[in-house]
Amino acid sequence: MKLNSRLFSMSLLVGLSTGFAVSLYVLLSRAISLALYLGNPEETIPKLPFWYVAFVTTSSILIVNLIILGNEKAKEYGIREIAKALDENRLTFTLGDLALKIVASALSIGSGFAVGNEGPSAAIGAMIAYRFHNYFRLPRELLKVAIGVGASSGIAAVFVSPITGILFAVENVAYRLIRDFVGFMIIGSFSAFLVALSLLTPLIFKFSTGKIVRLDYLGLLFLFIPVLTLSIYLYLILRDKVLFYLNGIALEKLSPFHRAILVSLIGGLTVAFLLKISPFAGFSGHGVVESLINGRFHIPLLSIALLVLLRIVANAVSLYANAVGGLFITLMSIGALVGYGFGEWANSLGIEAEPFYFAAIGASVFVGVVMKIPFTAVVLSLETTYDYNVVISVGIAVSLVGFMTNSVFELQKGILKRREKPETA
């Protein structure tokens, strides 16, 4: 069999297999959530006693920490591992490592910790690709191609968005492969997407107007950009402050086992408290994004502001507690809340604005700027909404907000360097 034929066959089989595997992983996370909270958490958590919610979160994250204690690689979030594997032209984790990562991640997300599932999904795709690379006896130098195909297939499946999956993989882990081998990534991503589409539900914007552009929305966008920029500053500063405070708790004198217990208690009890305030404070945030961009319910401005703060704190505590997962969907949920709040605020001033439009814009821009994946953000908005009012706005906003945030942080770095520079006589 010619090399290109083997590459094509490998890509197709990797995509189909990854689509099934990632779908099962996502469905497992949801099943765990339904089982632990005796039904839909959004409906049951407000009715459950605090001790029960605290027991679920604390015991779940304790199990996760014990898994990590036994195997440190279960803590990695997938994307960094794939990038490292591409650089070193070898897979840096085993099938056993991946199995533990999937269990830890499904338990983290299912019990309510505010992390996403894109990292483990990329790792699932990479492992499957590694196996097929060996099965087809492809040359060693094509292992990078196989891992890139697997990573993009995993992302395409978990987002149920094929082109978003390709660009996310390119911007994060496979940027060196785009010129020569993107065709195989396309085959893998689209086949994984078709499988996932039959098992999972994609994010779909139900109010799309297609190519009809409303100029008044573009005008409002320039009022929204400063709000988005300040919100991103708030997220970064508050997250780092919470992590700094939690990491400042003296744990050095404890054994690894006792440290895992204390971290689990702090993380579990805090997340339980946040979930009792609002179930929307935790979990991956997929439901929050879907509800806001489709205008399923009305949220008062004060409640939106509270939810933004709760989700930022929940994300920081989840990272501190070693919850296994990613940031993509979590960041989208925060951005969607900010955008929805902006729309409601504009309406309160007598300015006509549909909150769910700005929720869709905020979701894409937030993740694009914080994770520094602007192309992925634009394509995500296109695949989610198919609405030029959203896509054009995301393109403009992700560029301007990204420029402003980078400029401010570069300025802060320059000021710190000048302060640290010793004075010369």
Q: What is the pLDDT of residues 188-205, one digit of tens each?
A: 999 999 999 999 988 889
Using CA atoms, how far apart are residues 162 and 379, in angstroms rounded to an integer?
A: 10
Mean per-residue pLDDT, 226-242: 93
pLDDT of 96 reads 85
For residue 173, pLDDT beyond 90: no
Using CA atoms, how far apart are residues 232 and 339, in angstroms rounded to an integer?
A: 12
Using CA atoms, how far apart are residues 256 and 259, in angstroms rounded to an integer?
A: 5
| More confident site: 167 or 128 | 128
pLDDT of 424 reads 44
The pTM assigned to this predicted structure is 0.89
Domains of the chain, CATH where assigned: 3-199 (1.10.3080.10), 215-419 (1.10.3080.10)
For residue 425, pLDDT beyond 50: no
| More confident site: 91 or 13 | 13
List the one residue out of 235, 213, 403, 252 whose CA is nearest residue 319.
235
pLDDT of 229 reads 93
pLDDT of 163 reads 87
**Which residues is 326 bridged to in the sheet?**
116
Instruction: Name the token pair of 144.
Output: 């990078």
Percent with pLDDT over 70 in the chain: 89
Instruction: Name the token pair of 234.
Output: 């708030």
For residue 152, pLDDT beyond 90: no
| Neighbour tally for 75: CB within 10 Å | 17
| DSSP category for residue 138 | -
Average pLDDT, the chain: 87
Please tell me whether residue 326 adopts helix, strand or coil conformation.
strand
Q: What is the pLDDT of residues 296-312, one digit of tens each?
A: 778 888 999 999 999 99
